[in-house]
Amino acid sequence: MKTAVVVFPGSNCDRDVQRAISETLRTSVDMVWHEEKEFPGHPDLVVLPGGFSYGDYLRGGAMAARSPIIKAVRAHAASGGLLLGICNGFQVLTQARLLPGALIPNTSLTFICKPCYIRVEKTDNPFTYGLKEGEVLQFPIAHHEGLFFLPPKELKELEDSGRVVFRYADPATGKAGVEYAPNGALNGIAGIRNERGNILGLMPHPERATVAQLNGGTDGVKFWKSLEKAFVGGAF
Amino acid sequence: MAYKMDYRRVGLTDSEYKRINEILGREPNALELELVGVMWSEHCSYKSTRPMLKTHPPKGKYVLQGQGENAGVVDMGEGWGFAFKVESHNHPSAVAPFQGAATGVGGIIRDIIAMGARPSVSMDGLFFGDPKLSKTQNLAKGIVEGVGSYGNAVGVPIVGGKTYYAPCFTDNPLVNAFSAGFVRLDKMASSQTAKAGDLAVLLGSKTGRDGIAGASFASKELAEDARSSKPQIQIGDPFEEKLLIECCLDLLDKGLIASMQDMGAAGILSSSSEIACKSGCGIDIQMKQIPLREKMEPWEIFLSESQERMLLIVEKEKLDPVFAMARHYGLDCAVVGTVTDSLKYKVFDGEELIAELPIGILGDAPEVFWPAKEPAELPKRQVLDGSKLASADPEQDLLTLVGCPNGASKHEIWEQYDSMVQLHTIVGPGQPVAAVEVPDTKRACLLTMEAEPCKCWTDPYTGAAETMALSLRGLWLSGADALGMTNCLNFASPENPEHFFELQQSIKGLADACRALDCPVVSGNVSLYNETANGRIYPTPLVVTAGLLTDRDELLRAGATKDGDAIYMVGKEKGSLGASRYQDLKCGEPLGKTVEPDFEAEKSFRERAVKTARGHLADSGRVLAGGGLAVALASEAIASGTGLKIDLKPQGARELTLFSEGGARAIYAVPQQKTAEFEKTWAGFPCRRIGAAGGDRLTWDGMFDVQLGELRKTFTEGRQ
């Protein structure tokens, strides 16, 4: 699976994603600078990593959504390529209107970095194809603006069309919802996909739960392997 | 001459002014006077402490770069160096907590870049006043948000630190920012490798009026109305800094930089003069070439502490690729001068020479020998009335110690920091020792940050020695060798002989401990004048010690006790209650001395502790620190999620056994099948089995019997 990670000025999880994917899937990962106009050699997966793109002084992801590379990102997604936005990358996807909604400041109004638990809601897309519905994973979060927000009508549409992929949950009971969301996300939403299923945005960091012996656990490995399984198996 | 009257305004004394005249053979002009005034300030010159700092042991088998560079570097093996340094940003944080703390983080990160290292970890030592006061709460909120906003955005994980509350910090909080980074040995940069003909290039932000003369500001007491000092505060831009990091590392990687220096105190002046002086050269600066944000006076340009700037020394033929790289990252870049062989620091305004100083003068402030006198009230501070210390209700005392501001969990602070970015954190905040991967190896780099203000207040020598030993014990217990130490000496005005005595004694305590225990001092920072009209801070030497574990599988953690493990205590049953957390809470002020250093015992402890970790003889271990044995047991139970049943009959007063501090002492959780080997390893050192792990209560016969849940709640939520 050919992978490219977009590097915006101010991205700071770009190298982490590169390491997580290359170590887990034994594949090389291209790093693509934001000023590029296209991706080298048609990647299968494009990742928008976490960080503070362009300093995020305006709004998380707002500037990045208008950077030169975004045209190529749109073209990649339009042709059915896989597009994953993690944390700031998720914010970029919403700002670029590639995914609905907005990520607004956490209810605590503080930055929060800690382990958190998310429940797999759907496995009908390439990103969670190899996971189990209802399975609870531990991925860390690290953000100031992670409260997923949509007006009630659109939120209902999103829910009804089954596009909520991850929800914050209690690992003991498996229950999910806003009460388990460290950031106050509506309906406890941690990750969503587009209609077609080839774009996923999520706030928690799977790459931080990938390297054994580090303090983030290893549930992220399941996520990357699932993605690879869907891709290699040609399920989508 | 008008300037002659002015030398006091720039902080120079009569004799210093006379000395300048002698060196120059004339009177300095106004600009020259400003330049020398700042370079001879306490903050830039260390003139009060230099003679004493020379007593720190500089050498060790792991030291690659000792003091004198932007940061010290130790050898982590397999071609990796580890550059690290801690620096204070106390005065700015008192005045503008958010920006003061943020730029403290940014400033120390640039010291690490200047060594050619990728900034990889940060830690912060925060010292706040009475937590019940809204003043303290506001300062703490601003400082923590400032540290977080900068560290999170710049992408350097904050893996640990220290937060400490005492009323003496109410008006004068301390912010000590630590940063460190890994560097390939063949890519190490230096500020001593400029040569005549090279160009001085300014990379990063434009120069503006922020932080003018911050160095002088840090070299005197805080004014009562501290807010009047606002113009001396710098403004931070972590986005610009992130680009600076990537750009500088790229430039170094491609071999485009001959030498580099970060711009900290006294901005362009200090960075350009230091690099020329250390390289044995002179330098000509073209003032008009310096990119400015606003119209400024010459002296303002040279003293501005605008953030996110680096000074690069570039060979002429490499200028084009350097500019191309700066453009790639969207950074401003300008040639501002030329390295010469004149041994002079010259400033030109167009054709006109407006300042000319011998290069040595700037780094050559006359040393100041302040008189020292033992504080008249020191004997009083050291008297401890044992009758006030009896523990009538050990359970309540334990809960108070666990839940008091200095005992309770600091998660509300460290959860605001990104502690995991860069994907190499093995042990993050909230643990006695932090650990990160040495890149692409099985090795782990371990860090401890310690400070014991109360103990240094009642006895600066033993307090400082204990602080240093404590930082080492944590590393040894984890299985690591100590490679080196960096320190930040936070003290009151040295002009008061009693304060100067405390400074001297503390430095001696650190130096003696480092020398006896084989830990070189590789870098450091001194912050004096930490006092206001309302009082002064306790003597607060803060140390950060770096350790190496060649195989990270051998890391012995805290909080990993398993059901059924035997619980051991090693070291003497009792330390001292002097200036302990228990004593301070009982009496309302620190009184009594901590234990005298016993370096032979420390070495015995080191040998056995390292063996224990590397031989995998224990599941978990924890050094005794604040709150003594009882709090160590409580912390271990909370972190491990398992109860402990302790069976130890105290010899003498029980509060001594329960709560005393100091000395090489620790607890271990040992699997039953390894107890024999563990005991053998500890033969020749006090070692006793004191209980077993299991259940969901912390129980000590005749002392306390607490539900784990209650203990955890007290720790997490605090208790006044």
State what percent of residues in chain A have pLDDT above 90: 92
Name the token pair of A207. Answer: 């790459």
3-state SS track over B415-478: CCCCCCCCCCEEECCCCCCEEEECCCCCCEEEEEEEECHHHHHHCHHHHHHHHHHHHHHHHHHH
Q: What is the pLDDT of residues B599-608, one digit of tens each?
A: 999 999 999 9
Cβ of B243 and A9 within 8 Å?
yes
Cβ of B419 and A113 within 8 Å?
yes
Number of H helices, E strands in chain B: 25, 28
User: Which of A7, A56, A87, A113 would you mutate first to test chain B, the one with the most B CBs within 10 A?
Assistant: A113
CB B244 within 8 A of CB B114: no
Q: Which residues contact B212 (CB under 8 A, 6 or more apart)?
A: B231, B232, B300, B303, B304, B305
Q: Which residues contact B62 (CB under 8 A, 6 or more apart)?
A: B74, B75, B481, B483, B484, B520, B548
State what percent of residues in chain B have pLDDT above 90: 79
Q: What is the pLDDT of residues A44-76, one digit of tens each?
A: 999 999 999 999 988 899 999 999 999 999 999
Check residue A21 and give its pLDDT. Answer: 97
CB A140 within 8 A of CB A117: no
- CATH superfamily assigned to domain B190-363: PurM-like C-terminal domain (3.90.650.10)
Q: How far apart are CA B354 and CA B285, in angstroms?
A: 10
Distance from CA of A236 to the nearest CA of B (A): 31
- Taking any CB pair shorter than 8 Å as contact, residues of chain B touching chain A are 145, 148-149, 152-155, 237-240, 242-243, 328-330, 415-428, 437, 552-553
Name the token pair of B579. Answer: 């200036």
A215 contacts chain B (CB < 8 A): yes
Q: Which one of the listed residues B43, B56, B424, B499 is annotated catalytic? A: B43
Q: Measure CB to CB from residue B415 to each of A13, A15, A112 and give the nearest one.
A: A112
Q: How far apart are CA A68 and CA B715, in angstroms?
A: 50
State what percent of residues in chain A have pLDDT above 70: 100
Task: Look at the block and give the residue holding tokens 């056994």.
Answer: B657
Q: How far apart are CA B339 and CA B286, in angstroms?
A: 11
Host H or E run for residue B333: strand B333-340
Q: What is the largest CA-CA distance in chain A?
A: 47
Query: For chain B, which residues make up each domain, given as ranges?
Result: 190-363
pLDDT(B324) > 70: yes
User: Which of A5, A8, A12 would you mutate first to test chain B, the one with the most B CBs within 10 A?
Assistant: A12
Identify residue B562 by its one-letter amino acid code: K
Instruction: Compute CA A146 distance to the chain's CA centroid, rounded to the nearest angstrom.
Output: 12
Provide CATH code, domain A3-233.
3.40.50.880
Query: For chain A, which residues make up each domain, given as ranges?
Result: 3-233
Check residue B710 and give its pLDDT. Answer: 97
Pairing mode of beta strands B666-670, B566-570: antiparallel
Task: Look at the block and give the residue holding tokens 């010159």.
Answer: B45
One DSSP character per residue, B349-375 reads ETTEEEEEEEHHHHT-PPP--------
CB B628 within 8 A of CB B659: yes
**Searching chain B, which residue's CA lies closest to the CA of residue A109?**
B416
Host H or E run for residue B527: strand B521-527
Cβ of B239 and A10 within 8 Å?
yes
**Searching chain B, which residue's CA lies closest to the CA of residue A36?**
B328
**Rounded to the nearest 5°, which phi and psi values hold at A51?**
140, -155
> What's the whole-number mean pLDDT along residues B238-256?
95
Q: Is B499 a catalytic residue?
A: no
Host H or E run for residue B548: strand B540-549
CB A16 within 8 A of CB A207: yes
Q: Which residues of B685-705 are buried (b: 16+ CB within 10 A; e: fewer)?
A: bebebbbbbeeebbbbeebbe
Name the token pair of B457. Answer: 């207040």
Cβ of A113 and B427 within 8 Å?
no
pLDDT(A178) > 80: yes
Give the confidence band of B216 by pLDDT, cuts at 50, 70, 90.
Answer: low
Q: Is A143 a catalytic residue?
A: no
> What's the whole-number mean pLDDT along residues A34-43?
94
Q: How far apart are CA B575 and CA B660, in angstroms?
A: 5
**Would you say the ipTM is above 0.85?**
yes
Name the token pair of B355. Answer: 């300042």
Instruction: Compute CA A178 distance to the chain's CA centroid, rounded to the nearest angstrom.
Output: 19
Distances (CA, A) of B39 to B46, B207, B229, B312: 10, 19, 20, 20
Q: What is the pLDDT of residues B663-694, one digit of tens each?
A: 999 999 999 999 999 999 999 999 999 999 99
**Searching chain A, which residue's CA lies closest to the CA of residue B422?**
A16
Distances (CA, A) of B102 to A45, B276, B627, B628: 36, 29, 32, 34
Taking one residue from A and the other from B, the number of pairs with CB-CB distance under 8 angstroms is 90
Q: Is B424 a catalytic residue?
A: no
Q: What is the pLDDT of residues A76-125, one digit of tens each?
A: 999 999 999 999 999 999 999 999 999 999 999 999 999 999 999 999 99
Give, as one character, the DSSP assignment of residue B616: T
Q: What is the pLDDT of residues B107-139, one digit of tens each?
A: 999 999 999 999 999 999 999 999 999 999 999
Check residue B264 and give its pLDDT. Answer: 78
Identify residue A17 by its one-letter amino acid code: V
Instruction: Compute CA B655 distance to the chain's CA centroid, rounded to the nearest angstrom.
Output: 32
Q: What is the pLDDT of residues B508-562, one digit of tens each?
A: 999 999 999 999 999 989 999 999 988 999 999 999 999 999 999 999 999 999 9
Identify residue B64 by its one-letter amino acid code: L
User: Which of A7, A111, A138 would you mutate first to test chain B, the one with the most B CBs within 10 A?
Assistant: A111
pLDDT(B2) > 50: no
Q: How far apart are CA B616 and CA B633, in angstroms?
A: 21
Check residue B43 and give its pLDDT. Answer: 81
A145 contacts chain B (CB < 8 A): no
Residue B26, class by beta-carbon neighbours within 10 Å (0-12 exposed, 13-18 middle, 19+ buried)? exposed
**Side-chain half-sphere exposure of A163, counting CA atoms within 13 A:** 20
> What's the whole-number mean pLDDT along residues B218-227?
61
CB B669 within 8 A of CB B567: yes
A144 contacts chain B (CB < 8 A): yes
Q: What is the pLDDT of residues B180-209, one digit of tens each?
A: 999 999 999 888 888 999 999 999 999 988
Which residue from B524, B427, B430 is spatially nearest to B480, judged by alpha carbons?
A: B427
Name the token pair of B365. Answer: 């402030």
**Side-chain half-sphere exposure of B417, counting CA atoms within 13 A:** 29
**Chain A positions in Cβ-Cβ contact with residue B145 (cut-off 8 Å):** 110
A224 contacts chain B (CB < 8 A): no
Q: Measure CB to CB from residue A55 to each of B145, B239, B426 and give the nearest one.
A: B239
CB B537 within 8 A of CB B172: yes
Q: Which one of the listed residues B89, B91, B424, B499 is annotated catalytic? A: B89
Check residue B222 and give its pLDDT. Answer: 66
CB B482 within 8 A of CB B558: no
One DSSP character per residue, A36-55 reads -SS-TT--SEEEE--B-GGG
**Searching chain B, which residue's CA lies closest to the CA of residue A142?**
B418
State what percent of residues in chain B have pLDDT above 70: 96
Check residue B631 and give its pLDDT. Answer: 98
Residue B35, class by beta-carbon neighbours within 10 Å (0-12 exposed, 13-18 middle, 19+ buried)? buried
Q: What is the pLDDT of residues B43-85, one digit of tens each?
A: 888 888 888 888 888 888 899 988 777 889 999 999 999 999 9
Give, as one character, the DSSP assignment of residue B221: P
CA triplet B378, B384, B389: central angle to 5 degrees?
A: 150
